[in-house]
């Protein structure tokens, strides 16, 4: 356990936890927040092997296991005493997309493997709910904090498969209802939609022509957007809303790491399926 002397000598600054920070969007968010001056904690099953700066505090966690999730918050409480920002990015929905040589991702719901529900609903939605409950216990006494749930357009239109839509729609509804209960404590909750993000998997797919990266975003971009939201003095007025990261960036003048301004996608830009 960290004693009071160690805590007083710990680095100052706003404390953030990014779940699912080992790779992809979560890793990018962690890097973006670290560059913005946050003291960042990153959790994930493979966080110890992740390509992350030494300044980022790694806490290995399988968010399918509640006791491991509780430990993450115990570590933050012990080392910092408070938590200012939670970004729920843990997500197992993109694992094992190809099985036995078959691409099972777009299969109809009756042919979907059972693990996809676990990866999206349990490792995604349920993990976000449990983490948010822990965070709320730390934030509400201080009347300070922000919870961000990473979501996507599949909440509003069929994309890929039915479970994907269920998971993201549940995330947006969870955001809306949590916001009602947290608003009296001045803790906003936001659902944030990224665009096409140049994650490791997207870059690999782009080599085969699967994606046009001309309007894509770096993984760090959404971390920059979250930093801008965190410092918005009128943020509580947005609580419970679904926000598009690129639209928020334009509002606050946030640029990507290459100086570009990614376009804000709308529902009309998302390919319709079904």
Q: 47, 58 in Cβ contact below 8 A?
A: yes
Catalytic pick from 41, 94, 164, 193? 164
> Computed from CA positions of residues 206, 211, 214, 220, in that sequence, does the dihedral angle turn out positive or negative?
negative
Q: 199, 218 in Cβ contact below 8 A?
A: no
> In whole angstroms, what is the distance from residue 273 CA to residue 156 CA?
12
Question: How far apart, in Å, are the Cα atoms of 162 and each of 107, 122, 169, 197, 227?
Answer: 9, 15, 11, 22, 32
> In whole angstroms, what is the distance from residue 144 CA to residue 14 CA?
11
Strand partners, 87: 18, 148
> In whole angstroms, what is the distance from residue 10 CA to residue 25 CA?
27
> In whole angstroms, what is the distance from residue 191 CA to residue 232 CA?
16
121 secondary structure, DSSP code: I
Q: How many CA atoms within 13 Å lie on the side-chain side of 177?
A: 8
Buried b (16+ CB within 10 A) or exposed e, 39-49: bbbbbbbebee
- CB-count exposure of residue 69 (10 Å: 0-12, 13-18, 19+): buried
> In whole angstroms, what is the distance from residue 214 CA to residue 244 CA?
18
**Is residue 164 annotated as a catalytic residue, yes or no?**
yes
Residues designated catalytic: 164
């Amino acid at each position: 356990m960290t004693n009071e002397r160690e805590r007083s000598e710990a680095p100052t600054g706003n404390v953030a936890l990014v779940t699912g920070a080992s790779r992809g969007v979560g890793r990018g968010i962690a890097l973006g927040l670290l560059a913005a001056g946050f003291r960042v904690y990153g959790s994930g099953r493979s966080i110890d092997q992740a390509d992350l700066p030494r300044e980022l505090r790694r806490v290995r966690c399988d968010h399918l296991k509640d006791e491991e999730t509780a430990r993450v918050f115990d570590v933050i409480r012990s080392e910092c005493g408070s938590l200012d920002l939670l970004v729920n990015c843990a997500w197992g929905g993109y694992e094992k997309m190809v099985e036995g040589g078959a691409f099972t991702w777009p299969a109809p719901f009756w042919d979907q493997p059972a693990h996809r529900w676990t990866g999206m609903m349990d490792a995604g939605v349920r993990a976000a709910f449990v983490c948010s409950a822990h965070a709320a216990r730390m934030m509400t006494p201080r009347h300070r904090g922000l919870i961000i749930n990473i979501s996507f357009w599949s909440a509003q239109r069929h994309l890929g498969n039915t479970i994907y839509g269920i998971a993201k729609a549940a995330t947006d509804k969870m955001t809306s209802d949590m916001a009602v209960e947290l608003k009296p404590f001045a803790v906003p909750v936001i659902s944030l939609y990224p665009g096409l993000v140049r994650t490791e998997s997207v870059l690999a797919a782009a080599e085969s022509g699967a994606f046009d990266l001309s309007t894509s975003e770096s993984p760090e971009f959404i971390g920059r957007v979250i930093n801008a939201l965190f410092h918005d003095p009128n943020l509580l007025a947005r609580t419970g809303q679904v926000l598009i990261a690129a639209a928020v960036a334009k509002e606050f003048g946030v640029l990507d790491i290459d100086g570009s301004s990614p376009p804000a996608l709308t529902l009309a830009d998302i390919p319709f399926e079904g």
